[in-house]
Amino acid sequence: MTVNGSTYNRITTPSGEAIGDTSLYEMLQKSGIGSLVKNNQAITFGDQVVKPEQLRNITYNGSGVVRANLPVKPDGTVNLAILEEYEQAEAEMKQYGNKLTPEVAGKILESHGLSQLVKEDGKPDISKFAPFIVTEGYTLDTNGIKDSEFVKKIKDPTEQQIQMYKRSLTTGTGKDKEVPDMDTYDGIWNPFDWFGLVDDLYKAAIYIPITNNQLTAVTAANQHIDYDEALDLEKKY
């Protein structure tokens, strides 16, 4: 599923150093984006809520982030059930450019079966939207993740994916270096693998709700992820 928004291909530390393969937790901390997170209990790996401690076992692979305004559920998590239709509606709205009015936006949403996002006066209901940072990552089933419509199980991970996972979640250096274990299928040398005693690798988009309450910005290379960028939606409607 493609998310429309502002793309930041290179996330850096405050000093400008690019952040590559690491855990999602470390990326959020090193970049300063962690200070933007509005609700640590509403971060999802696909459609599954992940707790802050689980972020240490989810990869961030230097693929950047997308800053987007998305439909939200009452608990603050992204509303994936209607996201695809909303993305189509948003693409239709963009065709109007500066001529888009709240009334037209409301009609477009309703035409896509999204009347729950429209107020009684026919205008979009801003309370049903929220700003998110979206990226992608990998994790294992041992991190509490299961198969779903929005979480892809990598049935036969490549050696490159396996090494990327291990590299991203390695902690420490020198004698304190710890490389995460990942038990992959090897039916020839390990008969126990025949019984499914292996780790399953999963990939998904990660949705992180962010706040608009601060007036500063988080540097992403030479770009900025503005705290109040989501207010564009309110100005439009």
Regions of the chain short of the pLDDT cut 70 = 1-2, 173-176, 183-198, 212-237
**Cα 106 from Cα 101, distance rounded (Å):** 9
pLDDT of residue 233: 37
- Give residue 148's domain range: 6-78+127-232
Residue 117 belongs to a domain: no
In 3D space, the residue among 77, 84, 72 whose CA is nearest the CA of residue 44 turns out to be 77
**Cα 221 from Cα 9, distance rounded (Å):** 9
pLDDT of residue 176: 67
Task: Give the Cβ contact number of residue 236 at 10 Å.
Answer: 15
Backbone angles phi, psi at 28, to 5 degrees: -65, -40
The total domain count for the chain is 1
pLDDT of residue 111: 96
pLDDT of residue 71: 94
Residue 223 belongs to a domain: yes
pLDDT of residue 103: 93
Residue 17 belongs to a domain: yes
Residue 63 belongs to a domain: yes
Residue 100 belongs to a domain: no
Residue 24 belongs to a domain: yes
pLDDT of residue 43: 97
Residue 111 belongs to a domain: no
pLDDT of residue 6: 81
- Cβ atoms of 126 and 233 within 8 Å: the answer is yes
- In sequence order, which residues have a C-beta less than 8 Å from that of residue 121 and are 6 or more positions away? none
Residue 97 belongs to a domain: no
Measured between alpha carbons, how far is residue 225 from residues 5, 68, 123 in Å?
A: 11, 11, 27
pLDDT above 70 coverage of the chain, percent: 79
> How far from chain centre, in Å, is Cα 59?
11
